[in-house]
Structure 1
Amino acid sequence: MGEPSSIIELSLSCRNLFDIDPLSKTGPVVHAYIKNSQRKDYTLLGKTEEVQKSLNPDFTKTFTLEYFFERAQWIKFEVYSDENDLSRHIGTCETKLASFVTSDNQNFTGDLKLPGVEASRGQIFVRADNVTMSNDEVSFTVKADMQDQGGWLCCRLDNPYLLISRARSGEVDVRIEERDYIRVFQSRVVSNSMNPDFGEIKLKKQLFCNSDTNLPLKIQLCNYRQDGIHPLYGQFITTLTELSAKETSSFPLINSQGHQTGTIYFKKFIVIPHPSIAEYIRSGWGLNMSVAIDFTASNKEFKNPTSLHRQYQNGKRNDYEEAIIQVGQILEPYAHDRKYALFGFGGIPMFTGASQVSHCFNLTGIYDPTVQGFAEMLNLYKSRVPNVCMNGPSYFSEVLQNVLNYMEENMLKKMYHILLILTDGEIHDMSKTKDLIVECSKYPLSIIIVGIGNADFSNMVALDGDEVVLRNSRGEATKRDIVQFVKFNHFKNHDLVQLGEEVLKEVPDQIVSYMLSKGIKPQPQFDHRPFEPEQIQNFL
């Protein structure tokens, strides 16, 4: 295969986007796809966030990938005006990855077009940057005191948010053009405040400053407005070296006219050394994996031609089977004793003689829910489907309680737990599920939810907690982000290998964050697990 020539990071912006609906400002999002000479089809690299009410968005989400000089690596960007309606397609730009590397200052501009139409529907700007990897994390809290501008702006600034951008690699002059800054973080909006508190912020050192402590960082305070035009209140330039010199520091905000408009305060600014997951694996830590499969009535009985559990005779696999394979085959080398626990929920397990719905039952039909290897897990699922009556409602809490009980009984073992939930829709015990996830966040657990089918998965997005911190019924927040949700259909028509990579990409950070929260350090001298280096690299 060969080693990559470099690892590069892509940051994206769009300008002059075609306005599909002039009565409602567009909220564009970009889907990025990659293809190389060894693949026939494009695979999803990732998606940006949706930028509301803007025809000229700058995206915070970046994409990191390996660049191979010797390969023809094609990349494609699809821009949509609505993440939930892919028929609102603004345009496509397709080029080779080498176009970014060889362009002037690694800045690329491409036209967005519809298939068979020459007219441009806007431009996409791509900035490529060489990556210096680091597992370390930067942690700090931020507050601001904003001065009343007395009408300097056309309206009172009272909805502030924070932007952090870094210069491109190798740039050390503070007089850097705006285009050579890469946006790395955007805070939540603090409404109706002249003294906003943005709380604790944690960022990977690589993302924050590309692991370069002297790289210029631009800190900006902006005012969020409903019309999509967000005035700049003030900004300043600093570096990680300057920020980390003191645990508490302050900086004046300077507006475009050179006047001070306020002050930003950094507190508890620290750089936290992070071990890698590979170090913990070498220290004897293993992964315990459980899989819970949805057998509620909305899946439809397996004999129904439209059933999500349909069993095909021609070797074709249903979506549940594909999800089991793509995730299971990645985790199998790390699974404790190469075993998986396999549960069902929301159905009547007739193979046990039951006549009532169960919200957590062992698919093995015996006390021990484990099977050896993902191939046996797949075969067991297929054999049980005809003997489970689809029922409901859809409860997650009993599965979560089962896993929580097991973790509590095995806390002395060097074991991190992964729960994979495959489900086709809504949750009917949302409050209890939230309570249990908050409790589980104290334990060595990651929860991966894969949405099967075309149902409304808004509750799953809420459990993911990427946009709003998940809280229980008492208002307590999760100790860690432990839930990752993805829709299977986002990968179904592309390379399904990407599904396993997407659902597992947050797991390494979740494992390390748990270890650090408990003060657990890897022990390099302890190395008895039979893992090969390439296995660890594949998981990372």
Structure 2
Amino acid sequence: MESSNNIMPPNLKQRIALYISARGLVNLDVMSKSDPQVEVYLKDKNTNWTLVGKTERINNNLNPDFSNFIECDYFFEKEQFVRFMAYDIDDNKGHKEFIGKVETTIGKICGALKQTFVSELKDDKHTKSRGKLIVRLDSINSSNDEARIKLSANLVSLSSMCCSAVNDPYFIISRARSQENREEFVRIFKGDVKLSNINPVWNPIKLKVAQICNGDHDLPIKFSVYSQIESGNDLFYGEAETTVNKLKSGDKRLNLSKKGKNGGALIIDQFVVIEMPNFMEYLRSGWAVNMSFAVDFTASNGEQSQLNSLHYQNPQSGVMNQYESAIWAVGRVVEPYALNCQFATFGFGGVPRFLGATSVSHCFNLNGQPNPQIIGLQNVFNAYKVAVNNTSLSGPTYMAPILKALLGYVQQCIQFQMYHCMVILTDGDIVDMTDTTDMVVQLSAFPVSIIIIGVGDDSFEKMKYLDSDDKVLQGKSGKAVRDIVQFVKFQDYKNQDIGVLAEEVLKEMPDQIVGYMLMKGIKPQKLEWVSVDNAVLSHNESAQVEIQQQLPQ
């Protein structure tokens, strides 16, 4: 019997997005309303719950529609248990009170009417509902194209008897679920709030076209403009509908309507769709990835012999410390991409006695050799275990010397098709913040990504500053030309499957690589086959042979 084309073959996964809303949440605050956020977990093969994503926090709102959606893989043939945990986040430090949870399966969400799943939030202490959770499921189109959008507005001024400053506008972008379901919209993006301004000009944004319209350029999309009110009862200017095709063809002014009344106009100052190459296309066309590690040996880690030391070695139990776990988790993912599986590996902030040093070094080769390259992740792991027992912890935390060494190496290799990624593992604050910021700004013009993994309990505020997702990093020599830093705090993932840490750490790197290529006008080359030493190699393989033979030692 021939199988139906509508049946998903075994072991075929589909990337899906979960759009989350809630209604009638229990209020846990006294002087205001709860500030809800939802965390989403999947049960892994070992029956552990693994965090796969979280929504943003929405202030003072018991009926939130979250803009941050959750992506995950859906397997038709598997029973995938999913848990939604709703919290009231009381401050910027992440203190949270539990509102309630819902447990179900991806299959039940997929099979719900219009793929919209509704359930009561419950907790173990209360039998009554803590509010309703609403989850809408959509498949994700795999297009990598990106839209560059710049918006402004001319708004009709709002007034209120209870508010002295109500014209604090922001915008929401939503899209219809499908052409068949054009009445129901899901939120995909929320813009920044512009205070006391009826003629706001918002910062340019970049969104995947698949996110905006899921690959259908004629799918209705909606722009809604609100004024933020501290109580959470935001005021509505109006909304307008359009499509990607209309925006591409020149829609420049969208009149905002609120029940037939004029709320002003949203101005489309820019809407450009950029055809984005895929990260894998560059790897296939000959680009190599050069990986390196830098490990913090400052005294704030705690003396290695102490049980509470972040560098403590436990040969009896074999339990890895945070540095070992991070090296292994991230290295395991990136090793296949690393040029000949080699990693330049450094230490900083300690006294490397195995090198004969008697004073602190802020950049030393972890293998004790003139060439810092170590072949294979296991040997990197072993080199760390040897070095940590032969290095006196010192300090303070200077990061600029490590980045300066990286810049020097990159400049020597600029003629090669090679992208560099440095993973920095550190427990402390940065002392030379000005110099470090300036080095990051300089490196942003080169084929470089910097991943910082924070271990321990530090607040890491300066690390978060370097991870400038929402702003342009400013240094002494000017502004960064692109965002190259990704910061992740290890503690947020220590109770999860270690692979989740690697996924979070590395998720921005492909886009950073493609961003550099587009900035330099570099397009992926077509795959060619050449002869090297009587062997037929792809252009990719022969390029890596040439790179390896010519790299500075």
Please list the CA deviations of residues 237-287 of structure 1 after superposition, one character each: whole Å capped at 9, or x if unmatched. Answer: 0000100002x61111112x3122211111232111111111100001111
Match of 1:485 in 2: 487
Match of 2:102 in 1: 93
Please list the CA deviations of residues 480-521 of structure 1 after superposition, one character each: whole Å capped at 9, or x if unmatched. Answer: 121111111222112111111111111111111111111100
Does the Cα contact within 8 Å between 1:172 and 1:216 map onto a contact in 2? no
Does the Cα contact within 8 Å between 2:165 and 2:196 map onto a contact in 1? no
What amino acid sits opposite 1:98 in the alignment?
G
* TM-score, with length taken from structure 2: 0.90
Match of 1:537 in 2: none
Give the Cα–Cα distance (whole angstroms) in 2 for the partners of residues 128 and 477 of structure 1.
Answer: 40
Give the Cα–Cα distance (whole angstroms) in 2 for the partners of residues 466 and 337 of structure 1.
Answer: 31
Give the Cα–Cα distance (whole angstroms) in 2 for the partners of residues 313 and 172 of structure 1.
Answer: 59
> Which of 223, 228, 232 is residue 224 of structure 1 equivalent to?
228
Shift of 1:53: 2.2
Match of 1:243 in 2: 247
Shift of 1:466: 2.6
Give the Cα–Cα distance (whole angstroms) in 1 for the partners of residues 455 and 445 of structure 2.
Answer: 28
After the TM superposition, which residues 15-34 of structure 1 pair with which residues of structure 2 at under 5 Å, given as runs?
A: 15-34=23-42
Match of 1:538 in 2: none
Give the Cα–Cα distance (whole angstroms) in 1 for the partners of residues 429 and 159 of structure 2.
Answer: 50
Shift of 1:4: 3.0
Give the Cα–Cα distance (whole angstroms) in 2 for the partners of residues 150 and 12 of structure 1.
Answer: 32
Match of 2:548 in 1: none
Give 3-state SS (helix, strand or coil) of 1:58's partner.
Answer: coil
Moved more, 147-156 or 512-521: 147-156
Match of 2:321 in 1: 318
Match of 1:337 in 2: 340
Give 3-state SS (helix, strand or coil) of 1:77's partner.
Answer: strand
What amino acid sits opposite 2:485 in the alignment?
V
Match of 2:549 in 1: none
> Which of 350, 353, 356 is residue 353 of structure 1 equivalent to?
356
What amino acid sits opposite 2:351 in the alignment?
I
Shift of 1:10: 0.4
Give the Cα–Cα distance (whole angstroms) in 2 for the partners of residues 393 and 367 of structure 1.
Answer: 24
* TM-score, with length taken from structure 1: 0.92
Shift of 1:478: 2.4
Match of 1:522 in 2: 524
Shift of 1:186: 1.0
> Which of 33, 58, 65 is residue 65 of structure 2 equivalent to?
58
Moved more, 513-522 or 111-120: 111-120
Match of 2:368 in 1: 365
> Which of 189, 213, 219 is residue 215 of structure 1 equivalent to?
219
Match of 2:18 in 1: 10
What amino acid sits opposite 2:26 in the alignment?
F
Give the Cα–Cα distance (whole angstroms) in 2 for the partners of residues 101 and 152 of structure 1.
Answer: 46
Give the Cα–Cα distance (whole angstroms) in 2 for the partners of residues 385 and 241 of structure 1.
Answer: 58
Does the Cα contact within 8 Å between 1:106 and 1:128 map onto a contact in 2? yes
After the TM superposition, which residues 210-289 of structure 1 pair with which residues of structure 2 at under 5 Å, given as runs?
A: 210-246=214-250, 249-255=252-258, 257-289=259-291
Moved more, 454-463 or 273-282: 454-463
Shift of 1:92: 1.6
Give the Cα–Cα distance (whole angstroms) in 1 for the partners of residues 314 and 441 of structure 2.
Answer: 39
What amino acid sits opposite 1:292 in the alignment?
A
Indicate how the Cα distance of structure 1 residues 332 and 5 shifts in structure 2: closer, same or farther if over 3 A, else same: closer
What amino acid sits opposite 2:411 in the alignment?
E
Give the Cα–Cα distance (whole angstroms) in 1 for the partners of residues 320 and 216 of structure 2.
Answer: 47
Match of 1:160 in 2: 169
Give the Cα–Cα distance (whole angstroms) in 1 for the partners of residues 415 and 108 of structure 2.
Answer: 52
> Which of 183, 199, 223 is residue 195 of structure 1 equivalent to?
199
Does the Cα contact within 8 Å between 2:226 and 2:236 map onto a contact in 1? yes
Q: Is 1:78 matched up with 2:81?
A: no
Shift of 1:113: 2.0
What amino acid sits opposite 2:34 in the alignment?
T
Does the Cα contact within 8 Å between 2:351 and 2:394 map onto a contact in 1? yes
Does the Cα contact within 8 Å between 1:462 and 1:468 map onto a contact in 2? no
Does the Cα contact within 8 Å between 1:172 and 1:214 map onto a contact in 2? no
Give the Cα–Cα distance (whole angstroms) in 1 for the partners of residues 26 and 461 of structure 2.
Answer: 29
Please list the CA deviations of residues 138-197 of structure 1 after superposition, one character each: whole Å capped at 9, or x if unmatched. Answer: 112111111335669965542111111111133464xx1xxx211111111111211111
Moved more, 13-22 or 114-123: 114-123
What amino acid sits opposite 2:62 in the alignment?
L
Indicate how the Cα distance of structure 1 residues 337 and 109 shifts in structure 2: closer, same or farther if over 3 A, else same: same
**Aligned-residue CA RMSD (Å):** 2.0
Match of 1:184 in 2: 188
Give the Cα–Cα distance (whole angstroms) in 1 for the partners of residues 32 and 434 of structure 2.
Answer: 34
Which sections of structure 2, spanning at least 5 residues, go unmatched? 1-8, 529-537, 543-553
What amino acid sits opposite 1:289 in the alignment?
M
Shift of 1:6: 3.1
Which sections of structure 1, spanning at least 5 residues, go unmatched? 532-540
Give the Cα–Cα distance (whole angstroms) in 1 for the partners of residues 84 and 127 of structure 2.
Answer: 17
Give the Cα–Cα distance (whole angstroms) in 2 for the partners of residues 290 and 30 of structure 1.
Answer: 35
Does the Cα contact within 8 Å between 2:298 and 2:350 map onto a contact in 1? yes
Does the Cα contact within 8 Å between 2:159 and 2:166 map onto a contact in 1? no
Give the % identical residues.
41
Please list the CA deviations of residues 274-332 of structure 1 after superposition, one character each: whole Å capped at 9, or x if unmatched. Answer: 11111100001111111111111110111011100011113221111111111111111
Indicate how the Cα distance of structure 1 residues 88 and 469 shifts in structure 2: closer, same or farther if over 3 A, else same: farther
> Which of 413, 430, 434 is residue 427 of structure 1 equivalent to?
430
Please list the CA deviations of residues 356-396 of structure 1 after superposition, one character each: whole Å capped at 9, or x if unmatched. Answer: 11111111222211100111000000000011111111121
Give the Cα–Cα distance (whole angstroms) in 2 for the partners of residues 493 and 123 of structure 1.
Answer: 28
Does the Cα contact within 8 Å between 2:352 and 2:364 map onto a contact in 1? yes
After the TM superposition, which residues 34-183 of structure 1 pair with which residues of structure 2 at under 5 Å, given as runs?
A: 34-36=42-44, 38-82=45-89, 84-85=93-94, 88-115=97-124, 117-149=126-158, 157-171=166-180, 173=182, 176=183, 180-183=184-187
